Structure formats: structure tokens, C-alpha cells
Structure 1
Amino acid sequence: MNALLDELTWRGFIAHSTDPEALAATLDAGQVKSYVGFDPTAPSIHMGNLVQLMLSRRLQAAGHRPFLLVGGSTGLIGDPKQSSERNLNPKDLVHEWVERIRSQVSKFVDFDGPAAATVVNNYDWTVELNTLDFLRDIGKHFSVNRMLDREVIKARLESGISYTEFSYVLLQSLDFLELYKRHGVTMQTGGSDQWGNLTAGVELIRRSVGGRAHALATPLLTKSDGTKFGKTESGTVWLDPAMTSPYAFHQFFLNAEDSMVGSYLRIFSERSREELDDLIRQSQEAPHLRAAQRALADDITDLVHSPAERKAASDAAAAIFGRGELHDLPEGVLAAVWRELGAIQLEPGAELPAVVDVLVAAGVVPSRSAARRAIDEGGAYLNNQKVTNPDQLVDEADVLAGGHLIVRRGKKTVGAVVIKR
């Protein structure tokens, strides 16, 4: 097997490919141009998209040229969902999201050297597309019978699917054909849920121009219970720091399941095979130390945000659990902690509240009496300072930047409030 494909297989990047032997020969023969697409159906990309960007980085590191496509036209349509019809977003909003996502994806590839990356927008070749030419030149190569066999279409036939979403596969296939003709792109990558779209593009190139192309699909990463990786109780894990703070992002990976952390490391960390094997071994031998989770969280936060943001997130986590100084944390980091802990705002009126009321409001105890018991037992903390008086009031000096207060019961039960000033 080709050395790159062997590495990608070990790391868990390959679920399907159209012809593994032919793809190996193509990669051995010289530089391959590949592309992956991102539809602007939201103002940011998310963890699922990051898998594709990590694959693009690995291909580029091996000397191949990545093309990152932001779907200014396909984003106006939307790939069919299993559940229901997508809402169509306004054109000006989609175009705004295109620019935001173009900026995001550009951070992950290198635009210099012989394997320089290129970012493209499929709106450029569809905006002037003539309907009759599209039907004659593209539509004639698609069998409705085969389109109906696609799993997502089967799932939607009973509930209903618009012609708009039904035709999405034609637009994505057109993208592959256009990149093949304009830039010599011969491989498309994507998630395994895109397999039908990927292979349709390969087939369109063969039928329309007699060309040879390849498709490679990555597995859909899940948690051990089969639910989507990158989803939390509060929603999707986004790469935009305004939508998922670096602190919340770092915490998400610190909390990765022991049974899955090895898989996540191989995908998202760029450490060597030897280093990763050692981390996974440490995790299996001493899971309570969470060495693999710490490496995963640090590596991916460094890449997506920055080492400085990762350090701030680590410092915040340490401070919250009593291993650092909360007063040293910037207001923005405290605000991220507040959001992650699900804190509420308090309006104290003329006086600052009693500590027992803060403990209850933050949710670390169920009642004022439980708060008093926690204080009497020596297990209640305000900003990491042990509370010894059940009648203690919050002092102005206790209030952190932005009006934040962090309370803790024992070692692990943490909550927060913000005092509205």
C-alpha cells in the first residue's frame, strides 16, 4: 500500500475509497490535487468539518495540493437532511457566511510552496449557469432511478423532499467536474454521509469528459453510544471562538471518553505514531491521569485557536478547581467559564448577597440549609477561599472581573453567578 494511505488508514481517515489500488498508484505517481467542500449553512464550521481539514493538512504535508471549496451556491440550496427540508437562508446572509468560512478554513493549510493550497467558491461558476445548458450537459448524465436509491432520498420520500434538495447531488458533482477541468483536481474527500455525492462526481467526470477521478470518504466520528462527536448538551462545538469559547472547546476534549480518546488523537493530533501509541498506552494503564485527554485538548486547541488561548483555558480550569488564582483571569475568560457553567445573573439590590444564597443560585447545593451544612463541614468555597461563617456576605473584594463569582462544594462541584451591577 502507498505509505500515505497506510498512515491515513492507521489514523482512521478512510471509510471508503472508489478504487484503493488505483488511488495508491496515483498517489505514488506524483502530486495529486484534491478538494473538499464546506457549505455555509451556518456562520462557522464545526468539529465534523475539522476532520476534513485535518485530512487536507495530511495530504498537503505529503506533497499533494489541497483545494478548499466554500459553497456559495450549494449553500443556497443545502444538502438533504435525513429528517426534514432545510430552511433556505437569504442570499446576502449566505454570502456573508462564505467569507467567514473562507477565512476559517484558510488557517489550516499553507498557501506557499509547490503544494500551495487554493480556496474556491462554486458560486463563481454557477451564478451565470444557463438552466438549459445545465439540464443538457449535466442532468442528462444522472439516472433518476439511481438518485432514488440514495439512502437520504429514500428516508425523505415518505415525508417529502423538494426538487431543490433532490437536485443537490447534481450541483456537487458539477463542482468536481469544474475543478477537474479548471485545475486538474482528480480527488474529492468528504464524510461517509457524502459518499453518494462523492461517487456521483467521479461518475460525472467519467461520463462527460472520459476522465479518471477518485473519491475518499472519512468515517463519521461518534461517541461510544453512537451519538455525534462534537455535540454537547448545549449544542454543536463550533470553531468560531465567539460561538464556542476556547475554554469550552478545550474542556470538550478534556472530557473525551476513555474508550474513544485514542481515535480522536489519531485524527486531530499531529504527533508521531510512536508518541500517540505511548499516550494511548498511558491512558489504558492509568486512565485517571487523563494524559491522552490532556494531550488531545492541548494539541487541538493550539491548532484551532492558539497556544495563548490554550494556556488561558488551562489556567482557567486550574483556577476554578482551586489550583490557581481566579482574580488573575481576564474578564473574557471568566465570561466563557460563566457560560460553560450555566451561571445566572443576580440582582443584589442595595447589599451584596449572602454566600449561602450564591451557593444555592449557582446550583452547587439544593437549599440554604444544605449550603449552611456544607460550610459547617468545611466543604464550601467562594473564589477558592474556604467559607467558615454561614452568615458571611459577599464583599466587594470578592467580586471578580465582570461581576463574576465562582463557588465550589468539595473538590468537583463548581458553579458560578454574575452580579448585575
Structure 2
Amino acid sequence: MPNVYDILLERGYIKQSTHEEEIRELLGKEKVTFYIGFDPTADSLHVGHFLQMMVMHYMQEAGHRPIALLGGGTTMVGDPTGKTDMRKMLSKEQIQHNAECFKKQFSRLVDFKDDKAILANNADWLLNLNYIEFLRDIGVHFSVNKMLTAECFKQRLERGLSFLEFNYMLMQGYDFLELNRRYGCVLELGGDDQWSNIIAGVELIRKKEQKPAFGMTFTLLTKSDGKKMGKTEGGAIWLDPEKTSPYEFYQYWRNIGDADVEKCLALLTFLPMDEVKRLGSLPGEEINEAKKVLAYEVTKIVHGLKEAEKAKEAAEALFSGGQNMENVPTVEIGENSLGCSIVELLADLQILPSKSEVRRLIQQNGLTVNDEKITDPKLLITKDSFKDGEMLIRRGKKKYNRIILK
């Protein structure tokens, strides 16, 4: 059986490692407990987290034990990484609810039965810390000069970095130390934007415990232009079907850029790498076949076979001018909703996130209602706007929504 390190490397997950050869050797010869942290700031994971879930799955399949660490404590402070503003603070109840939603989504790819994986919460050790003891025991090992060179702090310094957020690196380092003491965890994984925080934990364990500890980051899910993947004009692409329907989820992957197809097939599906390379190298228009495979495979993993089939059928029916609308995102309205403008209707129904987004789409000639291009943002919605009680909205070339008049 190949070493999981080589599998992750071949598929393009690994970005940086603290001790590459030692990590590879360790993963090849013994069962390793590792962890990835997830801050429960929302009640669903999104596609950026999905890549990390795939890594957990590959590692568990190879016999290693994942810890999904929920940041119940750190979420109450906020991670400054990649942020230009302070993160909104959540209550304990909100964090607990979000954590329960996460576990359900993790379970699609990670087996928590019989201690094969652990769901931990750093609130268990962070919330009751004695501040003076923490400073003496942990703070003494951190150099402020070195911390200020970390990318996550450099970006925020110009705009203002609160002392609250400055503590984040200490707490994440302490998490790794606690997991090492409690569960024998020796490896921390995370997105490449977490590199500075991961190194902090590795060095803390080596100083405090005089034991080996390791860190590894994986590539962030970005488009070929460097922007983060998983955002649309409607917001994040969530794994919760209530927040992003399986059809919208499928369509997102069906419509990604040609240059991103092979990378996404490697990172987000279980297809063998020779098939990934074959699909990724399809010429010209044929690359659309690869996008269909990607959309189907990712939707199947996240939402199950039945939903993937339904999303695929709906997409094909619309593309070929068919009439199968039952799987298109649909909302019902009453006659009391009539009389408003198209801009107000689409914003109120959250088909687009704001009135300005609707206006922008109209200006760009990107909005079609019942096969008619909309050019007037003041267009009033009446009973006559519906055909047989339905209105079909098309945004751009391939994004559909259906509104039913009750």
C-alpha cells in the first residue's frame, strides 16, 4: 500500500512541511494521531473545509487517527488570519449549535465510531485557563519580535491589531500541546494560511515536552487567478443543502474555469490520478465533459448519490431546453408579493444578495425572465409576469431559479 504522504503529494494537497522526510517516514511506519482545527463561526462547513475533510479521509483510510478540533474557545477571540477586520464574537450557545452541525457534515467522510476519530473542543481547556499561569507557562516561549514577522499579523498591523487577536497564536500553539498530552497527537495539519500558527505549536511541544512534533499545510482552494474558490454572488458555497442546494452546488462545479478543472478533480474527488489527468487534458469544448464529471463526483460525496443524480438531470434538462424543473432551486410567493420591482423581488427572495447586485446583473445584460432579457430595473412584477403560475429566472448563461405564484 502506498504511503499516504505520497498520495497527498501526488494529488496536490501538500504545500509546506516542517520536517518532510521525518513526516513521510512516520506516516509510513506507524499509526499517527493528527489534528485539523475548525472554528465554528457558522452553522455549516463550506467548500474550503471540504478539502480538509478529504485530507482527513485519506489519512484515516491509511490507518491514522484524525482529531477534528472545534475552536469553541478560540472562536470567542477570533483568528486574525486573512482578515482585515475583527471577527464577530459568538455566544457559547451559538458555538455549540454550530459544532453539532459540523460533526454531522464531518461524518460523511470521517468515521467517528470506536475511537477511530475524535471530535474535541478547545473550550474544554481554554475557557478555564488561569491567565498568570498561562503567561508564565506558555507565554514565556513566544518571542513578540518573531510573532510580528508572521504574515497573519503583518497584514493586520497597518489597520490595527487588538491584543485579543494577538493571543490567537499562543492559544493555537497551546491547543497542539494539549492534544499531544491528551491524545498523543504529533501532527497538526491546516490550510497554508495557518503556517505561522502551526509552527508555533510544533516549537512549543518541542520546547515544553522535548518530544518530536510536526506540522504540514495543504494548498488553499484557489482559482487560477489566485482568488479563493467557493464564493459566488450569492455568498459562500456551503455543504449544508439548506444553505446551498445540491443543484446550486452541482452548478458551481459545472461552471468553474477550464484551468481549474484538473486541480479540483485531484483535490475534491476520489477518481484515480490517471483519470484525473486524462479528463484535465481534454481539448477545447471537450473540457465541459470533465466539468460534468467533477460536478457529479463532488456532489455525490457531499450530498449523496440520489441528490447528485437529481442535480445532474436538472442541469441537463435545462441545458437541452427540457422541462424538468423540479430540482431547480424554487421558492413560492403569494399574490401579496406582487406589485414590487424585479430588483426588489430578487433581493427579497435572496436569489441575489442585494438590490445593487440585481441592478448590476441587469446592466450587464445577465438577467433573463421567462426567456426575455431584462433591461429595466423598475420592471413591475404582476400576475402577467408568470407563465402557468411560474417564473423562470436565469442569471448569466447557466444559473436558474424558479418562482411559483401560489
Q: Supply the AA of the counterpart residue of 1:190.
A: G
Matched, 1:91 2:76: no
Partner secondary structure for residue 326 of structure 1:
coil
- State the shift of 1:321 in Å: 3.0
Deviation above 4 Å: which 4+ runs of structure 1? 338-344, 359-363, 393-396, 411-417
Paired residue for 1:326? 324
- Residues 220-251 of structure 1: per-residue CA shift (max 9 Å, x gap): 12112221111112211111111111111100
Paired residue for 1:299? 297
- State the shift of 1:342 in Å: 5.1
Is the contact made by 1:106 and 1:119 (CA closer than 8 Å) also made in structure 2? Answer: no
Paired residue for 2:315? 317
Of 128-137 and 285-294, more deviation after overlay is shown by: 285-294
Query: Taking structure 1 as reference, are residues 260 and 227 closer, same or farther at Cα in structure 2, changes over 3 Å only?
Result: same
Q: Supply the AA of the counterpart residue of 2:17.
A: S
**Cα distance in 2 between the residues matched to 1:268 and 1:206:** 34
Q: Supply the AA of the counterpart residue of 1:6.
A: D
Is the contact made by 2:233 and 2:352 (CA closer than 8 Å) also made in structure 1? Answer: no
Q: Supply the AA of the counterpart residue of 1:100.
A: C
Matched, 1:406 2:402: no
- State the shift of 1:3 in Å: 3.1
Percent of pairs identical after alignment?
Answer: 39
Paired residue for 1:387? none
Is the contact made by 2:17 and 2:217 (CA closer than 8 Å) also made in structure 1? Answer: yes
Paired residue for 2:54? 54
- Residues 69-124 of structure 1: per-residue CA shift (max 9 Å, x gap): 111111111110441222222332222212222322232202347x8111111111
Is the contact made by 1:343 and 1:362 (CA closer than 8 Å) also made in structure 2? Answer: no
Paired residue for 1:388? none
Q: Supply the AA of the counterpart residue of 2:312.
A: S
Paired residue for 1:24? 24
1:156-167 to 2 correspondence within 5 Å? 156-167=156-167
**Cα distance in 2 between the residues matched to 1:408 and 1:297:** 19
- Residues 157-202 of structure 1: per-residue CA shift (max 9 Å, x gap): 2221111111001111111111111111110100010000111000
- State the shift of 1:297 in Å: 0.8
What are structure 1's unaligned runs of at least 5 residues? 345-358, 369-392
Q: What is the TM-score normalised by the length of structure 2?
A: 0.83
Is the contact made by 1:408 and 1:414 (CA closer than 8 Å) also made in structure 2? Answer: yes
Paired residue for 1:37? 37
The alignment yields a C-alpha RMSD, in angstroms, of 2.9
Q: Supply the AA of the counterpart residue of 2:392.
A: I
Q: Supply the AA of the counterpart residue of 1:28.
A: G
Partner secondary structure for residue 103 of structure 1:
helix
Matched, 1:418 2:371: no
**Cα distance in 1 between the residues matched to 2:353 and 2:322:** 20
**Cα distance in 1 between the residues matched to 2:215 and 2:258:** 32
What are structure 2's unaligned runs of at least 5 residues? 333-345, 355-366, 377-383
Q: Supply the AA of the counterpart residue of 1:87.
A: K
Is the contact made by 1:188 and 1:198 (CA closer than 8 Å) also made in structure 2? Answer: yes
Q: What is the TM-score normalised by the length of structure 1?
A: 0.80
- State the shift of 1:416 in Å: 5.3
